[in-house]
Amino acid sequence: MTAPDSSDDIEPAFDVAEPKGRATAVTFNSPHSGARYPARFLAASRLDARALRRSEDAYVDELFGPAPAFGAPLMRAHFPRAFLDVNREPYELDPRMFEGRLPAFANTRSLRVAGGLGTIARVVGESQEIYGSRLPIAEALERIECIYKPYHRTLRRLVTRAHRMHGLALLIDCHSMPSIGLIHDDRPRPDIVLGDRYGSSCAPEIVDLAEQALRNLGFGVVRNRPYAGGYITEHYGAPVDGFHALQIEINRGLYMDERTHEKTKDFADLARRLARFVETIASTPLPMIGAPRAAAE
């Protein structure tokens, strides 16, 4: 299988590929495709590299790599999701994981924490425990302060800039999903799932545009099941104010061997089709869709 990058240096923890010309109203974000695994993290884990990589949205940043060529910034994480999940609240933490007292404002009772998938994940895959012992709480807080918060400050800046320039901002949060469900849901997945938090994070006209563009490219598309969108979609989507957020989940079976994490022969074709999707979304005059506010002077 493809080995993850192993180093204690994950700087920069993320980057933004900016368009050369004037940016569109659309921003693409790939928060779970990072594959730089800190050596200390690997040493603390009781799992091997293949098990840890099950939580990666492998190659999603590559699949949406053409975005800047069409005027849309692409933000991408380099750290792995198993190390830190920026698609969670900043302090969704499981007290059972840490030595020391959590801050009083930590959310310890969310369903995601209960499932082991908080800001600092406890498990990957089918409930496989990541760590062999408890972590110092200072280490968790360091990840949040030094990576999580700068990540979201940068993402917010991109979205706010788009809104200021165009009177409307669309954030497309890019993910991948297993081709079949886990233990309790082993049905085959569709090609693509679009998540708009059941209509609350994105104007329906924009979701319709995305779905039709994908169907025109031959994809099978469903909405919100089994993924309606996570913290990023919920937090950045405020359609009444002209901020729209849409999550897109790509079936990993379309482009990679899920056992070895190797790209398959179909990767290039999928990348070509998704580039056409990106072009359609980025080139459509989104301020004419829904009810955007006038651009700031």
Verify cis geometry, omega within 30 degrees of 0, for the bond prior to 19: no
Cβ pair 135, 119 in contact under 8 A: no
Give the Å distances, CA to CA, from 27 to 90, 162, 197, 228, 263: 21, 8, 18, 19, 26
Average pLDDT over residues 115-123: 97
The two beta strands, 26-30 and 169-177, are parallel
Question: Is 147 within the bounds of a domain?
Answer: yes
Question: Is 211 within the bounds of a domain?
Answer: yes
Average pLDDT over residues 257-271: 96
Closest CA to 249 of 268, 274, 269: 274
CA distance 162 to 90: 24
pTM over the 0.75 mark: yes
Question: Is 102 within the bounds of a domain?
Answer: no
Task: Render pLDDT for 266-277 as a digit per residue (tens, 0 to 9).
Answer: 999 999 999 999
Question: Is 153 within the bounds of a domain?
Answer: yes
β partners of residue 173? 29, 247
Question: Is 118 within the bounds of a domain?
Answer: no
Tell me, what's the pLDDT at 20?
A: 87
Lowest mean pLDDT among 5-19, 236-250, 254-268: 5-19
β partners of residue 28? 74, 172
Average pLDDT over residues 204-210: 95
Give the pair of three-digit tokens for residue 78: 């380099």
Tell me, what's the pLDDT at 291?
A: 45
Average pLDDT over residues 122-139: 94
Tell me, what's the pLDDT at 257?
A: 96
Give the Å distances, CA to CA, from 232 to 102, 141, 200, 238, 267: 23, 20, 13, 11, 27
CATH code of 19's domain: 3.40.630.40
**Could you write out the DSSP letters of every residue in 9-26?**
---SSEEEE--SS---SE
Question: Is 117 within the bounds of a domain?
Answer: no
Of 186 and 194, the one with more pLDDT: 194
In the chain, where does DSSP find H-type helix? Answer: 39-44, 49-52, 60-63, 111-114, 137-143, 149-166, 204-216, 231-236, 267-283
Does pLDDT of 296 surpass 50?
no
Closest CA to 116 of 143, 85, 94: 94
294 secondary structure, DSSP code: P
Question: Is 18 within the bounds of a domain?
Answer: yes
Residue type, 40: R
Question: Is 114 within the bounds of a domain?
Answer: no
Cβ pair 208, 269 in contact under 8 A: no
Question: Cβ of 265: how many Cβ atoms within 10 Å?
Answer: 7
When pLDDT is cut at 50, 70 and 90, the band that residue 290 belongs to is: very low
Tokens 């309790």: give the residue. 184
Of 276 and 290, the one with more pLDDT: 276
Instruction: Compute the mean pLDDT over every residue in the chain, rounded to the nearest whole number.
Output: 91
Domain ranges, residue 258 = 5-87+143-285
Cβ pair 55, 98 in contact under 8 A: no
Name 95's Cβ contacts closer than 8 Å, sequence gap at least 6. 102, 106, 108
Q: How many domains does the chain have?
A: 1
Length of the chain: 297
When pLDDT is cut at 50, 70 and 90, the band that residue 5 belongs to is: low
Average pLDDT over residues 13-39: 95
| Percent of the chain with pLDDT strictly greater than 70 | 91
When pLDDT is cut at 50, 70 and 90, the band that residue 8 belongs to is: low
Tell me, what's the pLDDT at 295?
A: 40
Tell me, what's the pLDDT at 292?
A: 41
When pLDDT is cut at 50, 70 and 90, the band that residue 50 belongs to is: confident
Does pLDDT of 297 surpass 50?
no
When pLDDT is cut at 50, 70 and 90, the band that residue 82 belongs to is: very high
Using CA atoms of 95, 96, 99, 102 in order, give the dihedral in degrees to the nearest 10.
0
Residue type, 171: L
